[in-house]
């Protein structure tokens, strides 16, 4: 869990992430902004949940001993927290991709000189 997460409530952390993402997408046209609102809320929630799950996995590991019955030897199985983390990480990636796709494409004015250099270098 990040250091600042230890002093803030989960709701405060989600609100902070929502504000951070909202600033990134505040310049969108109104139609796209309406689409982004729900995605920003989901992304903020997922990021905080993923941080908490990651902290749990670091402490408790990805697997746990499991025994079906006394007649069967125990074995390690994936913890539910690990399964949840993997599923949520995929969904978070998909949402952030959707949000990124809402952003306008770079224009020549926005072009990064370093990117231009790399493009010129690759053409040689």
Give me the chain's average pLDDT, please: 87
Q: What is the pTM of this model?
A: 0.74
Q: Catalogue the long-range contacts made by 27-31 (C-beta closer than 8 Å, 24 or more residues apart).
A: 28/102, 28/103
User: What is the rounded average pLDDT of the residues 72-94?
Assistant: 95
Kindly report the number of other CB atoms within 10 A of residue 110's CB atom. 9
Distance separating the N- and C-terminal Cα atoms of the chain? 46
Helix (H), strand (E) at residue 46: helix 30-60
The DSSP call for residue 83 is: H
Could you give the CA distance from residue 28 to residue 39 in angstroms, rounded to a whole number?
14
Predicted pLDDT at 46: 98
pLDDT range class, residue 121, cuts 50, 70, 90: low
CB 40 within 8 A of CB 52: no
* pLDDT 10s digits, 39-80: 999 999 999 999 999 999 999 999 999 888 888 888 899 999
The Cα–Cα gap between 88 and 97 comes to 14
């Amino acid at each position: 869990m990040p250091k600042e997460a230890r002093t803030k409530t989960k709701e405060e952390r989600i609100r902070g992430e929502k504000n951070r993402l909202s600033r990134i997408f505040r310049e969108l046209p109104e139609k796209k902004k309406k689409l982004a609102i729900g995605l920003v809320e989901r992304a903020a929630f997922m990021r905080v949940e993923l941080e908490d799950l990651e902290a749990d996995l670091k402490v408790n590991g990805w697997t746990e001993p499991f025994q079906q019955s006394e007649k069967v030897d125990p074995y390690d199985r994936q913890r539910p927290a690990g399964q949840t983390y993997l599923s949520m990480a995929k969904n978070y990636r998909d949402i952030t991709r959707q949000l990124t796709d809402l952003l306008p494409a770079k224009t020549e004015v926005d072009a990064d000189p370093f990117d231009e250099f790399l493009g010129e270098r690759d053409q040689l």
